[in-house]
Amino acid sequence: MLRFIVRRLLLLVPILLGLSVLLFAWVRALPGGPAQALLGERATPEAVAAIESQLGLDRPLWEQYLQFLGRAVRLDFGASLQTGQPVIDEMLRRFPATIELAVAALLIAVCVGIPLGYLAARRYGTWVDSLAVTGSLLGVTIPIFFLAYLLKYVFSVELGWLPTAGRADPRARAEHPTGFYVLDGIITGNLDASWDAIQHLILPAVALASIPLAVIVRITRASVLNVVNEDYVRTAEAKGLLPGTITRRHVLKNAMLPVTTVIGLQLGVLLAGAVLTETVFAFAGVGKFMADAIVQRDFPTIQGFILVIAVVYVVINMIVDLVYGLLDPRVRVS
Amino acid sequence: MTLLEVRDLSVTFTRSGQQPVRAVDGVTFDVAAGQSVGIVGESGSGKSVTSLAVMGLLPSRGVSVGGTVTLDGNELTSMDQRELRDVRGRDVAMIFQDPMTSLNPVVTNGKQLVEVLTRHAGLSKGEAKTEAEQLLRRVGIPDPVRRLGEYPHQLSGGMRQRVMIAIAIACRPKLLIADEPTTALDVTIQAQILDLLRTLVAESGCGMIMITHDLGVVAGLCDDVHVMYSGRIVESAGTKDLFARPSHPYTDGLLQSIPRIDDDDPADLLHTIPGSARDTVAWDRGCAFQPRCERAVAECLSGPPAVTELGTPIVPHPVRCLRPVGEDVSLHEGNVAR
Ligand SMILES: Nc1ncnc2c1ncn2[C@@H]1O[C@H](COP(=O)(O)OP(=O)(O)O)[C@@H](O)[C@H]1O
Ligand code: SF4
Ligand SMILES: [Mg+2]
C-alpha cells in the first residue's frame, strides 16, 4: 500500500519535469517573447529590455530554465502580474472555492448519474432509457459556457430563485476559517451562512456537473447492461437470492468498477470546466483567477496553475486507483 | 417415485425482426428421487436451454416456454418469479459450466456460500459460516477457513468448481442440475470433480441431471441417458442399454467417437460424425440429423420421424429414427419393396 503510493508519487517527477520544459518553452515562444507579450505590441524597446532584465530573461536559456525549476520546486512561481502577490498564495487562497465547487458538482453527477444510469439499464429500450441516453448526449454536447449562461438567465435573472454570482451574499457577515464556505458556516455555528453558500453553489455546480453527469449515466448504463448478462448474476438467480441482494451485491458492486475509473477521469474535466463556470458566475476560485490570467497574459500564474493542476490530477488518480483496489480484489495492492 | 417430470417442454426464442428459434422442442423425461439422468448432445443441441427452463431462469422477454415442469408434485412452469425464488437454491440447485465466470469476482467465496444458507436454510450469519466451513471440507477444499475469506480468483479452476458445488448442495436440494460441470476444466481435474459429484449424490440421495456433450461422462455416473439433437430427444435408454445397443445413428456416431484404449486400429480411434450441427433440417420437415446421416433414406425428409420403441414397457428404449442401427434389415427390405 505504502509502496504503491510512493511509486505513484515518484511517477510525478518525470511528469512534472516534462511539463516544466513544455511550459518554459511555451512562454519563451510567445510572439516577441514574454516581455513583449506582457507589455503589448506598442511597448518601447527600452521598456521591453527593462522588463527582460527584471525577469532575468536576458540570461542564457538553460540558466533561466534551472532558475525556473529551482523556484518551482519550492512552489515559487513568481509574483502574479495581476496582483503583485506570490502566485502560490493567490492560488492557495482560491483553492477552497474551487474544491467546494468541484465536490458539489461531483456529488450531483454521482448521486444523479448512477441511479439514472442504473434505471436506464433496467428499463432498457423503454422511454426511460431513451430519455437518459438522449439527455446524456445533450449533456456532453452542450458547451458548459452556454449552459452556465442559460441556467443563470433562467433561474437567477428571470425566476430570481437563486443568486446570480459570487460565493456568498456580500452583505452577510460570516467568518471563514477554512475558506470552504459551507463548512465554515457549520464550524462557526452560522447555518444561515452555509445555506447562503449552498444557494450560491447550486447553479455553477449544476453547470459544471453536466458533462460528468452525462458520462456517468452512460457508463453506468453500459456497465449494468454488461454485468446483468454475466454468468455470476445467473448463478445468483439460480441460488434464489432476493432481487435486492442480487442488485446490490452482484450487479452494482461489479458495475461500479468502470464507473469509478470514469469518475477519476472526470475530475480533470471538472478542473478544466471550473475555469469557464467560475468566470460566468464570478465565482472567486482558481478557475476564474486562471481565466483572468489568460486574458491579462499573467504567465507566472498560468505556469503555476498548470503545474499545480498536474499534481492535483495525479494525486486524484492515485486516490481513485486506491479506491478501485478496495472495490476490486483482483487488482488489490498488497 | 418421480421427483421431476418434464412434459413436452419447448422453448422458442423470438427476436423482433428475426425468425423465431425453437431451441427445445417437445422434450419429455423423468428423474426419479435419487436417480442420475444424463442429457447428452453436441453444443447447441438445447441442453443448457432445457436446464434453464427447468430452473425458470430463462428471460421473460423474447422467450416463450411451452409444456410443464413438475418438481415433487409442484408445477414450476405455473409459478411466478417470487415462488420460483423460494424453490431455486433450496429444492433445485444448479452447477454451471464455467467456474471462472460463474462466481462473483468481487465477493468472497465465504459470502457467496453463506448468502444461500441465510436465504433458504434459516441460519444466522454465524451458523451459516460454520456450515460453510463444513461444506467446503465436504467438497474437498483444504484449509476451508482461509478459503472462505478469499476471492474466487485466488482459487484454481477445479477449486472454484468445488466452491460452486458446495453452494449448490448447501441447502440439500432434492435435485441437482450440473450443466457440463467439467467441460472447462483440465482432464485430470475432470475425473476428480465427477468422482466428487458421484459421492455427494450417493450420500445425499438427491436426484441429478448431468448435462454433457461427452458420453464418457455419463457412463459411470448416470442411470438413464437422453440423447438430444437439435432441440429434441432422439434416443432414451438406461445407460447400460444405450452403450450396448446404441440405436440412433447419432448416438452410434457419438459412441464411436469416444477413443477406446483396446482399439489398435488408428483409423478407428478418431471416428467423427461428418458435418456439423449447423447442417440441419427443421424437425417438421424431416429428421434434423438427415444431412449428416449415413443411413438416411428419402422418407427421412417427409415430416418428423416417428418414435420407435425398441425396449419393453418396463425397460423402455425409444428412438426417434426411421432406420435405427441394428434394425436395418427389415426396414431396408421394406424400402426396397416400395
Ligand atoms: N438467448 C438466446 N437467444 C436466441 N437463441 C438462443 C439463446 N440461447 C440459446 N439459443 C439457441 O438455443 C440453442 C441451444 O442452445 P444451448 O441450450 O445453449 O445449447 P447447448 O446444448 O450447447 O447447451 C442454440 O442453437 C442457440 O442458437
Ligand atoms: S430418421 Fe433417417 S436421417 Fe434421421 S437418423 Fe434415422 S435414418 Fe438418419
Ligand atoms: Mg450448454
ipTM: 0.88
**Residue A109 has what pLDDT?**
93
Mean pLDDT across B36-41: 96
pLDDT band for B262, please (50, 70, 90 cuts). Answer: low
The share of chain B scoring above pLDDT 90, in percent, equals 68
Tell me whether residue B231 is in a domain: yes
The neighbouring-strand residues paired with B229 are B232
pTM over cut 0.90: no
Query: Are B156 and B16 in the same domain?
Result: no
Question: Which residues, 6 or more positions from A306, have their beta carbon under 8 angstroms from its beta carbon?
Answer: A19, A23
Distance CA B117, CA B70 (A): 24
pLDDT band for A32, please (50, 70, 90 cuts). Answer: low
Which numbered atom of ligand 1 lies nearest the CA of B13?
4
Kindly report the protein residue whose alpha carbon is nearest to atom 6 of ligand 2. Answer: B321
Query: Are B328 and B254 in the same domain?
Result: yes
CB pairs under 8 A between A and B: 79
The per-residue pLDDT of chain B, averaged, comes to 89
CB < 8 Å to A328, chain B: 105-106
Domain coverage including residue B115: 106-167
Distance CA B59, CA B23 (A): 14
Query: Are B85 and B178 in the same domain?
Result: yes
Is the Cβ atom of B21 under 6 angstroms away from ligand 1? Answer: yes
Using a 10 angstrom Cβ sphere, with 0-12 exposed, 13-18 middle and 19 or more buried, the burial of residue B8 is exposed
Query: Are B211 and B137 in the same domain?
Result: no
Q: Of the candidates B144, B167, B190, which is a domain's last residue?
A: B167
CATH 1.10.3720.10, chain A: domain bounds: 94-297
- CA-nearest of A35, A102, A30, A114 to A268 is A102
Edge-to-edge strand list for the sheet holding B2-13: B21-32, B2-13, B63-71, B74-75
Query: Are B190 and B332 in the same domain?
Result: no
**Residue A315 has what pLDDT?**
81
Retrieve residue A274's grid coordinates.
471550473
Query: Are B140 and B203 in the same domain?
Result: no
Phi, psi values for residue B220, rounded to 5°: -95, 10
Q: Chain B: give the shortest CA distance to residue A11, in Å.
A: 29
Q: Domain A94-297's class? A: mainly alpha
* pLDDT of A107 above 80: yes
Rg (alpha carbons) of chain A, rounded to whole number: 24
Query: Are B20 and B32 in the same domain?
Result: yes
Instruction: Enumerate the H helices of chain B as residue ranges.
Output: 47-55, 81-87, 99-102, 109-120, 125-138, 144-149, 157-169, 187-204, 215-219, 239-244, 249-256, 266-269, 328-337
* pLDDT of A38 above 80: no
Within a 10 A sphere around the Cβ of B75, how many other Cβ atoms? Answer: 12
Cβ–Cβ under 8 Å, residues A260 and A131: no
The share of chain A scoring above pLDDT 70, in percent, equals 95
CB < 8 Å to A237, chain B: 57, 88
* pLDDT of B258 above 90: no
| Cα of B22 from ligand 3 centre, angstroms | 15
- The number of folded domains in chain B is 3
Query: Are B195 and B81 in the same domain?
Result: yes
The two beta strands, B207-212 and B175-179, are: parallel
Looking at mean pLDDT, say which of A165-174, A291-300, B292-301 comes out highest.
Answer: B292-301
**Residue B338 has what pLDDT?**
35
Interface test mutation site (partner A, options B57, B104, B119, B161, max chain A beta carbons within 10 A):
B104
Q: What is the CATH number of the domain that holds B4?
A: 3.40.50.300
- CA-nearest of B197, B208, B205 to B140 is B197
Q: Of the candidates B193, B210, B244, which is a domain's last residue?
A: B244
Interchain proximity A257–B106, CB inside 8 Å: yes
Tell me whether residue B40 is in a domain: yes
Q: Chain B residue with minimal CA distance to A251?
A: B104
Task: Give the number of C-alpha atoms closer than 13 A to the C-alpha of residue A204, restricted to the C-beta side.
Answer: 36
Cβ–Cβ under 8 Å, residues B177 and B164: no
Mean pLDDT across B96-124: 93
